[in-house]
Structure 1
Amino acid sequence: MTSLKVQLGNYPHTRPLKERTIPVDGVDCHFTESSPLHAAFARMVRNLEYDVCEMPVATYLQAREAGVPVRLLPVVMVGSGHHRSLTRLPDGPGLSPRDLPGRRVAVRAYSQTTGLWVRGILREDFGVDASDVTWMTTEEPHVAQYRNPPNVRLCAAERVVDLLRAGDADAAVLGPRAIGGQGAGLVPIVPDAEEAERAWEKRHGAVPVNHLVVASDDAVRSAPDAVAALYRALAEAIAATAGERDGSPGGRAVAAGWTEPLLRCLDVAGRYALEQQVVRSPVDIGAIERESGFLDR
């Protein structure tokens, strides 16, 4: 039996695999845990520590550009609307998105996928370019080869919200989980954020995707059937747990397969990434899809 070392977060759609109620045919999956989850992403793109690993969209795009030998599996693990991700202190001065040029905005890393979506929204909806803002970060990029643009500052703070509360930033970008954690009580800057998210989704035909899944080239070359079996099991688990997800953008984002919404979403993410210098060369979505052709065997 083939063994795979697998790092996936804990969600309703990964529970059946981790509890072995949905088997991965012919594969002994060794599921590891990482706390926080995002620490595993750097270990994957720097050291190829896992055979299969959950991966943020922006990190994957940077890794692919840097020549890191991984392939994308079309499994959406996490997604959400992100107009609510741009926040400020509730007792601070009123601030609109168009007030941000010349100001400082805190984000965990410039290459964090939530930040990618927020900067794209700022440019698309409000005419604010990424280069108009100073981005205050608490972490380095996951991909070691990547260099931040000159308007990015690495700070000593441990958390994004600490920069905001210390007055070192005027606004903060927080991912979906962080909004309910360290970001509790913060106020969205985008007016009518939920309505704006619905308009963005209608315009693009997709919910913004945060995390997908990658497999190392070594695993694909040595055990393509095992990686494909894991992919099929994830797809089965997503279908089996559909009733545990609501109709929110986050609930609707989770899916498996090269769906039209996923292709549209990746196309927009690639364009945003190039505009923001998250990557420095155009993203070929067709080539990414072709690289996963072994899944159809």
Structure 2
Amino acid sequence: MSNLNLSFACWDYDRIQALTNGTVQAKGIDLNWLNMPVEETFWRMMRHQEFDISELSLSSYLIAKDRGYPNFTAIPVFMSRFFRHSGIYINKHSGIEEAVDLKGKRVGIPEYQLTACLWIRGILHHDYGVHPSEMNWYTGGQEAPGRVEKIKLTLPPDINIQPINDEQTLNQMLESGDIDALIAPRAPSCFLNGSPHVQRLFPDYVSVEKDYYERTGIFPIMHVVAIKDEILEEHPWVATNLYQAFVEAKQKVYDGFNQTAALKVTLPWFVSEWENTRQLMGEDFWPYGLEKNRKTLEAAVTYSYNQGMIKNRLNMEDLFAQSTLEAYTL
């Protein structure tokens, strides 16, 4: 019996390298890997369901499960995780010195439903007392004009949100002071280019994020891996075999990091960072599976519900293919 040929849209992460170069093989599956930027992948999967298997925004996935469409189901494999305190950028002349100063300010955001922005709004609310309704939101393209929400949202009436003009970009508006702050997963080019007018809200974000982890035990999840329901209905074994292969591929990364005869990563003090991370977060600091990530996922669902992006408090077990939960909760 020949293998099932499935398209797989995902960015080029080290944690899938063993799958894409053939070192690890998902049993019974030939993956046709399509390497593309995450924004393109998410747009094409959410709008057109172009791929059999896809990396997908966690926030977009929660919205899809809440609405019952598009029809795909995730496995508890998390392609992207990111502490997001570093993703708040401010104009130095805006009067913002600490998080509470964001109240009443003009805040740019590429799309309101982005997972990074979901987490940042949740953290600002729960840790710093700044509710989303206390900021004035501006959406649009960060570096090029014309970006729109990939999902139509129905937000609470107290959320003040409006699109920027077609010729504007959030990057330009942040540097010029037309907005006071920007919340985004990608650093704006004005910051990367050393603009004297722009800085992070939390310059020492590493210390802030480590404190957040020590207090909460949460390592924010950004992206899941979703499979079309029609594939799972015809070939239910695909979910478990894929999950197992992703776990094995991630272990290859850990094994490589443990080899200290030569640096695996192009960073001079990588070994120190590797050791410090394990000391803080444990040996498997990028865990897959539901149980090890339940608290983080519950926080994401709570934030999405409280912010009005989903209408129901989703059950954790309903988010993932059942076979992956039954086989890997020992």
- Counterpart residue number, 2:149: 141
- CA RMSD of superposed structures (Å): 2.6
- Counterpart residue number, 2:183: 173
Q: How far apart are 1:212 and its partner, in Å?
A: 1.4
% identity of equivalent residues: 24
Letter in 2 for 1:203: R
1:8-157 matches, within 5 Å, as 8-34=10-36, 36-68=37-69, 69-90=71-92, 93-138=95-140, 139-144=147-152, 146-149=153-156, 150-155=159-164, 156=166
Moved more, 185-194 or 114-123: 185-194
Output the CA distance in 2 between the equivalents of 1:124 and 1:266: 16
- Counterpart residue number, 1:277: 308
Q: Unaligned regions of 5+ residues in structure 1, if any? A: none
Q: Unaligned regions of 5+ residues in structure 2, if any? A: 141-146, 258-263, 266-273
Output the CA distance in 2 between the equivalents of 1:21 and 1:117: 34
Identify if the C-alpha distance between structure 1 residues 122 and 129 changes in structure 2 by more than 3 Å, giving closer, same or farther: same
Identify if the C-alpha distance between structure 1 residues 157 and 37 changes in structure 2 by more than 3 Å, giving closer, same or farther: farther
Whether 2:225 is the aligned partner of 1:213: answer yes
- Kept in 2, the 8 Å contact 1:55–1:213? The answer is yes
Identify if the C-alpha distance between structure 1 residues 157 and 121 changes in structure 2 by more than 3 Å, giving closer, same or farther: farther
Larger Rg: 2
- Kept in 2, the 8 Å contact 1:75–1:256? The answer is yes
Count of equivalent residues: 290
Identify if the C-alpha distance between structure 1 residues 133 and 90 changes in structure 2 by more than 3 Å, giving closer, same or farther: closer
- Counterpart residue number, 2:295: 264
- TM-score for both structures, normalised by structure 2: 0.79
Q: How far apart are 1:33 and its partner, in Å?
A: 2.7
Output the CA distance in 2 between the equivalents of 1:195 and 1:117: 18
1:153-164 matches, within 5 Å, as 153-155=162-164, 156=166, 159-164=169-174
1:197-212 matches, within 5 Å, as 197-212=209-224
- Counterpart residue number, 2:261: none
- Kept in 2, the 8 Å contact 1:77–1:255? The answer is no
Report the 3-state secondary structure (helix = DSSP H, G, I; strand = E; otherwise coil) of the residue aligned with 1:172.
strand
Higher relative contact order (CA 8 A, sep 6+): 1
Identify if the C-alpha distance between structure 1 residues 205 and 157 changes in structure 2 by more than 3 Å, giving closer, same or farther: farther
Q: How far apart are 1:274 and its partner, in Å?
A: 1.5
Output the CA distance in 1 between the equivalents of 2:167 and 2:212: 32
Letter in 1 for 2:154: R
Output the CA distance in 1 between the equivalents of 2:286 and 2:299: 18
Q: How far apart are 1:109 and its partner, in Å?
A: 0.5
Q: How far apart are 1:266 and its partner, in Å?
A: 0.7
Q: How far apart are 1:287 and its partner, in Å?
A: 2.5
Whether 2:202 is the aligned partner of 1:195: answer no
Report the 3-state secondary structure (helix = DSSP H, G, I; strand = E; otherwise coil) of the residue aligned with 2:77.
strand
Q: How far apart are 1:202 and its partner, in Å?
A: 2.1
Q: How far apart are 1:26 and its partner, in Å?
A: 1.6
- Kept in 2, the 8 Å contact 1:76–1:253? The answer is no
Identify if the C-alpha distance between structure 1 residues 238 and 157 changes in structure 2 by more than 3 Å, giving closer, same or farther: farther
Output the CA distance in 1 between the equivalents of 2:188 and 2:208: 20
Letter in 2 for 1:267: E
Report the 3-state secondary structure (helix = DSSP H, G, I; strand = E; otherwise coil) of the residue aligned with 1:76.
strand
Identify if the C-alpha distance between structure 1 residues 41 and 3 changes in structure 2 by more than 3 Å, giving closer, same or farther: same
Q: Deviations over 1:230-276 (max 9, x none)?
A: 2211111111112268455999753322242x111011111111121
Identify if the C-alpha distance between structure 1 residues 227 and 206 changes in structure 2 by more than 3 Å, giving closer, same or farther: same
- Kept in 2, the 8 Å contact 1:109–1:141? The answer is yes
Identify if the C-alpha distance between structure 1 residues 157 and 86 changes in structure 2 by more than 3 Å, giving closer, same or farther: farther
Q: Deviations over 1:180-217 (max 9, x none)?
A: 86642442214753333222212221211111111111
- Counterpart residue number, 1:222: 234
